Structure 1
């Protein structure tokens, strides 16, 4: 699992993840919207912490600033 996310991408995902947690608590953590927001927050925070996004890997996207050698 090679990192494929740059610093800006990781920071944005972290901020979005934290915002999703806050909104989930405000709307009610056990409502349908709250549960969806918890899932979004978890995905955002985990991918930000790992620096790896499986969707980016599948699409051969790399925001680290290095050129991709895959075709």
Structure 2
């Protein structure tokens, strides 16, 4: 697995993961929507840390120079 995300892409994913987890934790959303937000936040956080996005690989895209 070669990294296929740029530094900016990884930063945006990390910030978005924190925001989504915060929305899930502190909003009055139904439990199902909280779980969905937590799952999406976890996926974004993992891909930000690892630097590899399987969806990018599937469509043969890389934001890394």
Q: Which has the higher contact order (CA 8 A, sep 6+)?
A: 2
Q: TM-score with structure 2 length normalisation? A: 0.93
Q: Say which SS state the counterpart of residue 24 (structure 1) adopts.
A: helix
Q: Which consecutive residues of structure 2, in runs of 5 or more, have no partner in the other structure?
A: none
Distance in 2 of aligned mates of 1:38 and 1:2: 26
* Unaligned stretches of 5+ residues in structure 1: 66-71
Partners in 2 of 1:29 and 1:21 — Cα distance?
12
Query: Which structure carries more helix by proportion?
Result: 2
Alignment of 1:17-28 (within 5 A): 17-27=17-27
Aligned length: 65
